[in-house]
Structure 1
Amino acid sequence: MSINTSHNNLYTYRAPHDPRSQQRNLDTLYSMLGLKQPTTYKDTRDLILAAPSADDVALRLAYAAYETDNPKKLVADAIKELQAAQAAEALKDAFLRAERTAGNTTIGNLVDQGVEDTREAFEKDTRALIEAATHLDATTPLDAEAAVALDAGVHLTTARGILARLGTYASIHTHAGANTGAPSHLTQILPIIELPEIVKEQVYRTPTEADPTANPNDIKGTLTVRQLGRDAQSNIDDTIIGIARGDYEGVTFRFGTRGEANRNGSVIRNAYVKDVIDNKRASFGY
């Protein structure tokens, strides 16, 4: 597949760095799809953080002091408001200290529930992308002029919109595949794809053949993943279009659970780590 390297990415993976950012990414996904949040966490947090502070109450009192017809009542009411505001500030501080602990405990299950709740929408989006991809230019699928020449403007619009949405799906997952030797852009799409079988390549310690690989018949999926990684690093959007077209045998779309995304991150290492083995001749003492 020829990869164009000349445009900004539509697919954007926003890696969550803590439970709170992961919760925000989940909120964004549910909002994008118009789905009801599975918890009242966001609404509760917003209410806690929006409560007026003691300074807010004092400032309002200072302005009201110029206009009130009943200073005594104003002050009495303000004292009650100030007490409530001070309690709200204490609650806010305590909540912000405690939410990380609560998030660490609950976010994993919420992510898996998010996958379950949104997988139908994901599959609908990827089916639409697969259909759109068949109409786009083979070399520059996201080029507007090429799409117009093919009378594929509607399909280009569909593809561009779905690429942006796919990044929102993926971003509910923490980063998988770090420190595996895989290109960074490949690891960014691991939450939304299923990989072919990856077998670690074995290479001879002192190759006597032009091809040093000892198990060439076993590593078809491995070589496919390496090509996928090279292409993704050059242009992640065009590569996702290539997946939609079936350019990478055995690579398909799947919105994975935490376990599936992490498993992708683990097995991807086998595509980039090689086992060095002794030559057959050497092992028999020749």
Structure 2
Amino acid sequence: MPPLSLIVSTLRSAGCVFAEDEAELLLQTATTTAELTAMVERRAAGLPLEHVLGWAHFCGLRVAVDPGVFVPRRRTEFLARQAIELARAAGGSERRAVVVDLCCGSGALGAAVAAAVPHLDLHAADIEAAAVRCARRNLAGLGGHVHEGDLFAPLPSDLMGRVDVLIANVPYVPSQDVELLPAEARVHEPRVALDGGCDGLEVMRRVITAAPSWLAPGGSLLVESSERQAPHAVDAFTGGGLRARLATCDELYATVVIGTR
């Protein structure tokens, strides 16, 4: 195997800020010298570290992340924590909480909730075929059902009016700002997972419009937004007939809007 110092030097020259940490992960993951060399070359060429490794850490889990699939962000762990609290409150000895993860990507959010709250009825959906394949691998051992299609369209109709926790990590980057994103996201993640339309809230509004029909009484919709967009998102929730509140985390620089039926 190449020495750690050589890998660190190669990654640092390529602009990797956390070259030492990344080098350690690559060394731990690769099983042969040839595999390690190829992984270092892909990372130095600009591929996201998670795509090179084939996995990402999320809420204490190792989540598979295939090339071309949206990489779960650390700040989104705050969204997962909010969903876990609500799922725990909704479930009990008499019933299984129903949780839906829309725009699921790798299925990281659904996996985090299912790992923390046993005996869920978990469904996830994404419009991207690569994401659906990845999510099925991540959720198979957790009893999750993954559907391919646009937002609510592929979900079983018998979920209508029964969803306790609806997680929708929708794209919320305004279209004109997508080109300003780091190349790791802009080049290697699907645009449909990033682009939220003119003001970044177009997909969110579609979810809000349909959500009341799917939520159980007292059920909640959770979305992540930027701090700047949050007041507009709250207005959209309220206009859609949901009782809205904000949850924020300074440590992760995360903002979550929660709307309850």
User: Smaller-chain TM-score range?
Assistant: under 0.3
- What is the TM-score of this pair, normalised by structure 2? 0.24
- What is the TM-score of this pair, normalised by structure 1? 0.22
Rg comparison, structure with higher value:
1
